[in-house]
Amino acid sequence: MNDTNGHALASPLLTDLYQLTMAKTYVERGMHGEAVFEFAVRGLPATRNFLLAAGLEQLLDYLESLRFGESDLAWLEKSGYADNAFSQFLRGFRFTGDVYAVPEGTAVFANEPLVRIVAPMPAAQLVESRLINLLQFQTMIASKAARCVLAAPGHQLVDFGMRRAHGAEAALLAARATYVAGFDGTATVLAGRLFDIPTFGTMAHSFVTAHDNEEVAFEAFARSHPDNVVLLIDTYDTLRGARTVVDLVPGLLKSGIKVRAVRIDSGDLADLSREVRSILDRGDAADVQIFASGGLNEYALQDLLAAGAPVDGFGIGTDLDVSSDAPYLDCAYKLQEYDGRICRKRSAGKETWPGRKQVFRRAAADGTLVRDFVGLETEKLTDNPLMIPVMRKGRRLHEPEPLATIRNRSAASLATLPKNLRALDQAEPYAIDISAEVQALADEFDRQLAL
Amino acid sequence: MNDTNGHALASPLLTDLYQLTMAKTYVERGMHGEAVFEFAVRGLPATRNFLLAAGLEQLLDYLESLRFGESDLAWLEKSGYADNAFSQFLRGFRFTGDVYAVPEGTAVFANEPLVRIVAPMPAAQLVESRLINLLQFQTMIASKAARCVLAAPGHQLVDFGMRRAHGAEAALLAARATYVAGFDGTATVLAGRLFDIPTFGTMAHSFVTAHDNEEVAFEAFARSHPDNVVLLIDTYDTLRGARTVVDLVPGLLKSGIKVRAVRIDSGDLADLSREVRSILDRGDAADVQIFASGGLNEYALQDLLAAGAPVDGFGIGTDLDVSSDAPYLDCAYKLQEYDGRICRKRSAGKETWPGRKQVFRRAAADGTLVRDFVGLETEKLTDNPLMIPVMRKGRRLHEPEPLATIRNRSAASLATLPKNLRALDQAEPYAIDISAEVQALADEFDRQLAL
Interchain contact, B8 vs A189, CB within 8 Å? no
What is d(CA A59, CA A171) in angstroms, rounded to the nearest whole number?
17
Are the C-beta atoms of residues B419 and B187 closer than 8 Å to each other?
no
Interchain contact, A266 vs B35, CB within 8 Å? no
B236 DSSP 8-state letter: S
CB within 8 Å of A69: residues ≥ 6 apart: none
Contacts of B46 in chain A (CB under 8 A): none
Task: Give the DSSP H/E element, type plus range, for residue A125.
Answer: helix A121-126
Q: Which among A172, A180, A116, A112 is positioned nearest to A143, based on CA atoms? A: A180
Interchain contact, B201 vs A29, CB within 8 Å? no
Q: Are strands A369-376 and A432-434 parallel, antiparallel or unpaired?
A: parallel
Q: Which amino acid is at A203?
A: M
pLDDT at A1: 30
What is d(CA B127, CA B131) in angstroms, rounded to the nearest whole number?
6
Interchain contact, A62 vs B344, CB within 8 Å? no
Contacts of A227 in chain B (CB under 8 A): 80
Helix ranges (H only) for A181-263 are 189-195, 205-210, 214-224, 238-254
Half-sphere exposure of A79 (CA within 13 A, CB side): 22
Q: Cα–chain-centroid distance for residue B112?
A: 17
Establish if A133 touches chain B: CB-CB under 8 angstroms: yes
CB within 8 Å of B172: residues ≥ 6 apart: A4, A8, A14, A167, B188, B190, B191, B194, B195
Torsion of CA A129, A407, A171, B88, to 10 degrees: 130
Residue A254 burial class via C-beta count within 10 angstroms: exposed 0-12, middle 13-18, buried 19 and up: exposed
Establish if B89 touches chain A: CB-CB under 8 angstroms: no
Q: Which amino acid is at A101?
A: A
Establish if B15 touches chain A: CB-CB under 8 angstroms: yes
Interchain contact, B347 vs A195, CB within 8 Å? no
B435 DSSP 8-state letter: P
pLDDT at B7: 40
| Residues of chain B scoring pLDDT < 50 | 1-8
Interchain contact, A328 vs B328, CB within 8 Å? no
Contacts of A263 in chain B (CB under 8 A): none
Are the C-beta atoms of residues A97 and A391 closer than 8 Å to each other?
yes
| Residues of chain A scoring pLDDT < 50 | 1-8
What is d(CA A413, CA A53) in angstroms, rounded to the nearest whole number?
11
Establish if A234 touches chain B: CB-CB under 8 angstroms: yes
pLDDT at A345: 74
Are the C-beta atoms of residues B175 and B188 closer than 8 Å to each other?
yes
Which B residues 150-189 touch A at CB under 8 Å? 160, 162-173, 187-189
Q: Which amino acid is at B39?
A: F
Q: Model pTM?
A: 0.97
pLDDT at A353: 86
Establish if B203 touches chain A: CB-CB under 8 angstroms: yes
Residue in chain A nearest B74 by alpha carbon: A193
Contacts of B9 in chain A (CB under 8 A): 1, 4-6, 9, 168-169
Contacts of A204 in chain B (CB under 8 A): 18-19, 22, 125, 128
Which domains does chain B possess? Answer: 6-142+328-450 (3.20.140.10), 152-321 (3.20.20.70)
Work out the number of other CB atoms within 10 angstroms of the CB of residue B94: 14
The beta-carbon neighbor of A348 closest among B134, B207, B266 is B266
Interchain contact, A21 vs B167, CB within 8 Å? no
Helix ranges (H only) for B11-91 are 17-28, 56-65, 70-78, 84-91
Contacts A–B by Cβ distance under 8 A: 381
The beta-carbon neighbor of A163 closest among B28, B133, B449 is B133
Helix ranges (H only) for B66-164 are 70-78, 84-91, 121-126, 128-151
Total residue count of chain A as it appears in this document:
451
The beta-carbon neighbor of A167 closest among B18, B169, B449 is B169
Contacts of B58 in chain A (CB under 8 A): 1, 4
Average pLDDT, chain A: 95
Helix ranges (H only) for B204-358 are 205-210, 214-224, 238-254, 269-282, 298-306, 318-321
Best of A206, A225, A272 to substitute, by most chain B Cβ atoms within 10 angstroms, is: A206
CB within 8 Å of B178: residues ≥ 6 apart: B141, B142, B145, B157, B159, B186, B320, B321
The beta-carbon neighbor of A265 closest among B129, B169, B347 is B347
pLDDT at B345: 74
Q: Cα–chain-centroid distance for residue A424?
A: 18
Strand order in the sheet with B230-232: B185-186, B156-159, B313-316, B289-293, B261-264, B230-232
Establish if B70 touches chain A: CB-CB under 8 angstroms: no
Are the C-beta atoms of residues B204 and A332 closer than 8 Å to each other?
no
Q: What was the ipTM of the complex prediction?
A: 0.96
Interchain contact, A6 vs B10, CB within 8 Å? yes
Cα distance from B252 to chain A (closest Cα, Å)?
16
**Helix, strand, or coil (residue A158):** strand
CB within 8 Å of A443: residues ≥ 6 apart: none
What is d(CA A70, CA A78) in angstroms, rounded to the nearest whole number?
12
Total residue count of chain B as it appears in this document:
451
Best of B2, B3, B4 to substitute, by most chain A Cβ atoms within 10 angstroms, is: B4
> Is the Cα dihedral B158, B162, B167, B168 positive or negative?
positive
Contacts of A11 in chain B (CB under 8 A): 190
Angle between helices B269-282 and B298-306 (to 10 degrees): 50
Establish if B403 touches chain A: CB-CB under 8 angstroms: no
What is d(CA B218, CA B211) in angstroms, rounded to the nearest whole number?
9
Cα distance from A363 to chain B (closest Cα, Å)?
33
The per-residue b/e assignment along A150-188, b for 16 or more CB within 10 angstroms, e otherwise, is bbbeebbbbbbbbbbbbbbbbbbbbbbbbbbbbbbbbbb
